[in-house]
């Protein structure tokens, strides 16, 4: 449901890219009730791009995210999300320099855009923010059908829904048995 884009000038290894995608997925899905299968991360090498800050060319590492918003998701929630992403970047990209990384490894910006008003993903219309548990209940049989057909992502989703506390609290767990 969210779409994160990492644009990097740091020479990231595949292991670092995988770790960043996994960290962002975990951060977002734990902060909000978004199942992991619906957290999207795109990684783009930005060394050939020109970004300007204050009218001056400034190559940089940055992460942008397009997310769903609701009254239950506060400015503080999104500030904490940005901070957690920054901490993850630091521990993955420049673990030996936690406070003063080399310039090409510094994460210059994290921008969160609350602009997703509708979407369709993996065959399903996405729910409004905060409605994920009800949406999971409404679509559970279709998720299970995809899992039974051998779709590994949906096998993981059905398992995740059966183990995540927020789905258990909402009554979803009974439907997963």
What would the pLDDT profile of 107-163 be if each residue is shown by its tens digit? 999 999 999 999 999 999 999 998 998 899 899 999 999 999 999 999 999 999 999
Positive or negative, the Cα torsion across 165, 166, 170, 176?
negative
Alpha carbon distance 159, 136 (integer Å): 12
Residue 56 β-bridge partners: 53
Structural domains of the chain, with CATH: 3-113 (3.30.429.10), 131-171 (no CATH)
User: Smallest Cα–Cα separation from 161: which of 127, 125, 132?
Assistant: 132
Give the predicted TM-score (pTM) of the model: 0.89
Digit-coded pLDDT (tens) for 30-84: 999 899 999 999 999 999 998 999 999 999 999 999 999 999 899 999 999 999 9
42 class by beta-carbon count within 10 Å (0-12 exposed, 13-18 middle, 19+ buried): exposed
Return all residues near 148 (Cβ < 8 A) that are at least 6 apart: none
């Amino acid at each position: 449901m969210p779409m994160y884009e990492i644009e990097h000038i740091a020479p990231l290894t595949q292991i670092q890219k995988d770790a960043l995608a996994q960290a962002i997925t975990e951060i977002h899905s734990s902060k909000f009730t978004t199942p992991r299968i619906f957290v999207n991360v795109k990684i783009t090498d930005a060394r050939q791009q020109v970004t300007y800050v204050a009218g001056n060319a400034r190559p940089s590492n940055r992460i942008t995210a397009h997310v769903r918003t609701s009254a239950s998701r506060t400015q503080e929630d999104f500030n904490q999300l940005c901070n957690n992403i920054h901490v993850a970047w630091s521990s993955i990209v420049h673990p030996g320099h936690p406070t003063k990384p080399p310039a090409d490894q510094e994460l210059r910006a994290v921008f969160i855009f609350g602009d997703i008003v509708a979407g369709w993903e993996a065959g399903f219309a996405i729910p409004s923010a905060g409605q994920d548990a009800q949406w999971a209940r409404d679509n559970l049989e279709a998720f299970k059908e995809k899992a039974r057909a051998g779709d590994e992502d949906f096998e993981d989703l059905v398992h995740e829904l059966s183990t995540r506390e927020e789905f258990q609290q909402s009554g979803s767990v009974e439907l997963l048995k």
